[in-house]
A and B are shown apart, each in its own frame.
Chain A
């Protein structure tokens, strides 16, 4: 049970990453931007695991698990920020959240 080579995984991974990057660039709702960020992190994880399987080395899986933990932490802090911003009765639109702009 071998399946496709690492090149096929890399192509899928970069297409997923481009989808996530497109979402981050085009959406204005911070919730959807966070979801697109998760997609980008998962695309990176897929490439890590594909190379880990290709090289026969388990270190890539450790790296992927660590990335997963960082993604969970990022989602917690990001959602906390969104809830805190929405408490200020500000519209949730990243183009209009400009009060920190110098």
Chain B
């Protein structure tokens, strides 16, 4: 831990030069990413020093998107509806909040008989088939063609379904903001859900996400999904590392490579509200996809059944007619 702090101070001093170098090397990779191809990020956990430069950059760049709630909040019915207010705790950086879309998780683990401390940037995984987007009942959560999933704060009602269906429970709610205030504030809706939008506006402008640009250690690499998967496997081979995010929930666009197994990492990190796990995650949309496929062929089955019924009726009528003769 001591090592981290001293290094942090040193790095903050020389951050500007390091960031310029890092950004120039990463932007070329990002610029290769066609807007119609999913882009992914590789996070090399062994490189992260926990300096929180990424967290600060995220807050700085995205502060305009943060909620500006109206107080007092409308009285909500029934009473069980929870008020989620982070507006007085905007400086909380040790978990995900509507004002903090990226945080650093730490874990003390054993590697080769030695105790080591790892720090891990955590944010939305940007799933390939994101349940938050697919199951949002209003279409407020959307997935861009480059794979970024984001929540439109102009139309989100804050029902928190996106959080309930997210395998990592990433989105966080802020009450007292959003369109619900103009509809039925007491009876429906409860604010807006917030999460990392991968700096979609910066990417659209040909830049890289703020967290990547600010990182003095080049912990994150951005590129096309295929490139990133190849790089992750190469890195894992070279370092005897472990991969997380490639297969989880059917695949995500955030690929972690860790020097220790994720099972160990998951045991060591602090988990809970706003602090996602590193457990294995099955593809939560797989069953829906299978049922959806069955639904598309269902009309054929119905038509065949009716045609079969018609055929047997005609056959029976013909049989009756020949018996009569």
Does B bind A?
no
Interface of A with B (CB < 8 Å)?
Answer: none
Residues of B within 8 A of A (CB): none
